[in-house]
Amino acid sequence: MIDAKNQELVSIIVPVYNAEKYIAHTIEMVRQQTYTDWELILVDDCSSDRSVEVIEEAIKNASLSESDSTLNPERHEDDNDENACSSSKIRLVKNPHNMGAAASRNAGIDAAKGRYIAFLDADDVWLDTKLEKELAFMKETGSEFVFTSYEFGDEQARPTGKIVHAPDSLDFKHALTRTVIFTTTVLFDMEKLSKDEIHMPLIASEDTATWWKILKTGVVARGLDEVLAIYRRPANSLSSNKFVAMKRVWNLYREIAGLNVLQSAFCFVMWAIRATLRRV
């Protein structure tokens, strides 16, 4: 049951591993959201760079701002967080050992207090209106699972003009041939889903496996066809590890979706065609 004071709260979960280059910008980007009822949960996965120091400094600065009543004073006054490194808006969770992105997101899910949960990767970008527009869309459609269109960016996250458009809706059958849901664009309503349902399995391509797991229950995800996020992609990454990615998708068909060889082959071919078209 969501606490009454958190009925409009969006919990934003960011897995952090050696993200010193991006994390200060990520935090500031969230602070610039036009929707202001959020908490930011940063889960450090034993980074070896200065990610933790940068986060702790941001939390310290946020706490000072809150003491001056500039960041949601009505929330911090009665929020007794047990995490020693936190403000009322930003919290740092530290993994005991390196566990990977899926386990880090799961730790963030477990720590989340809000009715709504959103994922954000440290090197990706949200437009300032992302939360406001997506939450309005979720309420308008009554959906428990929504996602948006996104645009590929270069190493500096500058838009390249290559956009992946979100379909109006996506069920399990159609999701099998369309890896169109980008983790940084999703939003869940936790009054309609459970934390167990959105916990990510500890396997490769854990995000796609999670979407399929949810959709397989009969949930239909709704897509907002508006670019509200930028997917940062270095120029040389489009062709790297493609055979590894193909193997991962094949294994998802066989192990997660439970398809036979012929069904897997059909879905795989359709996926490969669409994935290629999305990147050229």
Helix axes 51-67, 23-31, angle to 10 degrees: 30
Strand stretches in 122-271, DSSP E: 125-126, 145-153, 159-164, 169-170, 187-189, 221-232
**Nearest-5° angle of CA 147, CA 153, CA 158?**
120
Residues 6+ apart with CB under 8 A from 161: 151
Please report which confidence band the pLDDT of residue 77 belongs to, taking 50, 70 and 90 as the band edges. Answer: very low
Mean pLDDT, range 241-261, rounded to an integer: 86
pTM of this prediction?
0.88
pLDDT at 93 over 80: yes
Indicate if the pLDDT at residue 239 is higher than 70: no
Residues 61 and 33: beta-carbon distance below 8 Å: no
Mean pLDDT value across residues 160-165 = 93
Read off the pLDDT of each residue in 173-192 and give the average, rounded to a whole number. Answer: 95
Identity at 30, one-letter amino acid code = V
**Residue 76 pLDDT > 50, yes or no?**
no
**What pLDDT is recorded for position 49?**
97
- What 8-state DSSP symbol labels residue 200? P
Average pLDDT of the residues in 63-69: 68
Task: Between 186 and 242, name the one with better pLDDT.
Answer: 186
d(CA 258, CA 131): 34
**Beta pairing partners, 116:** 10, 189
